[in-house]
């Protein structure tokens, strides 16, 4: 007879994801994993010379696998997932990868601990977080931490459900960011839009000690 843990490991990833959504519909923003079409659209927005990537909200690993397929090396990928069961699922699926069970609001400290700081900052952040449902201050905390972990020319690539920009105008103004609607796909449940965020003026990131 299989143990509950063995049964959980043998379940399809879609059911693993749906079960977590039932437990926490606000924390898990979707009812099913992202589609391959959405993953391809997200990958198409990475910088051409992209080498190091941070993924926020790894889920069941759809984007994680797409990043590896895209050519991002295991050692150059850092994944954050706050949900403990999804975190364990990711660790089983991608052994040897830096997968942290942590809050995206603490990304500065996590990135530094994992070697994604200074000259080794990421070229892109890929996000599956439900920014649209977050209060403005939490949005700003996460976006600020993400851009502190990015190279000056780095990109923050985010998908959202529906056509509206999930990041408020106030946050964009406070952090001096530009937003670009990159693509839309009906072939996702629900349909999804990809947005790309960059700094308005490319500039060196000020070391924390100088702030």
Question: pLDDT digit string (tens) for 29-49?
Answer: 444 456 788 899 999 999 999
Q: Which domains are delineated in the chain?
A: 35-160+167-178+187-201 (3.40.50.150)
Reply yes or no on whether the pLDDT at 28 is more than 90: no
State if pTM tops 0.85: no
Cα–Cα distance between 27 and 114 in angstroms, integer? 24
Q: Which of the residue ranges 33-42, 66-75, 141-150 would you say has the lowest mean pLDDT?
A: 33-42
Judge whether 122 and 149 are in contact, CB under 8 Å: yes
**How confident is residue 97, by pLDDT bands cut at 50, 70 and 90?**
very high
Residue 25 in this model has a pLDDT that exceeds 50: no
Angle CA 146–191–16, to nearest 5: 75
**How far is residue 32's CA from residue 112's CA, in Å, rounded to a whole number?**
32
Determine the pLDDT at residue 133: 87
Quick one: CA dihedral 82, 183, 198, 140, positive or negative? Answer: negative
- pLDDT confidence of residue 81: 96
From residue 167, alpha-carbon distances to 75, 146, 175, 205 in Å are 30, 13, 11, 21
């Amino acid at each position: 007879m299989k143990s509950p843990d063995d049964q959980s490991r043998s379940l399809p990833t879609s059911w693993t994801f749906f079960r977590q959504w039932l437990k926490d519909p606000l924390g898990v923003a979707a009812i099913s994993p992202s589609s391959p079409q959405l993953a391809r659209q997200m990958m198409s927005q990475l910088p051409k010379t992209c080498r190091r990537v941070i993924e926020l909200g790894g889920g069941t690993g759809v984007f994680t696998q797409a990043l590896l397929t895209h050519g991002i090396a295991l050692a150059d990928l850092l994944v954050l997932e706050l949900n403990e069961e999804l975190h364990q699922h990711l660790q089983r699926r991608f052994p040897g990868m830096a997968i942290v069970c942590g809050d995206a609001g603490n990304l500065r400290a996590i990135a530094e601990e994992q070697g994604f700081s200074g000259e080794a900052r990421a070229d892109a952040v890929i996000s599956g977080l439900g920014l649209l449902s977050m209060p403005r201050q939490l949005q700003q905390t996460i976006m600020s931490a993400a851009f502190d972990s990015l190279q000056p020319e780095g990109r923050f690539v985010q998908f959202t459900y529906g056509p509206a920009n999930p990041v408020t105008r106030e946050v964009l103004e406070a952090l001096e960011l530009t937003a670009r609607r990159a693509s839309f796909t009906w072939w996702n449940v629900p349909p999804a839009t990809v947005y790309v965020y960059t700094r308005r003026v490319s500039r060196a990131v000020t070391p924390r000690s100088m702030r």
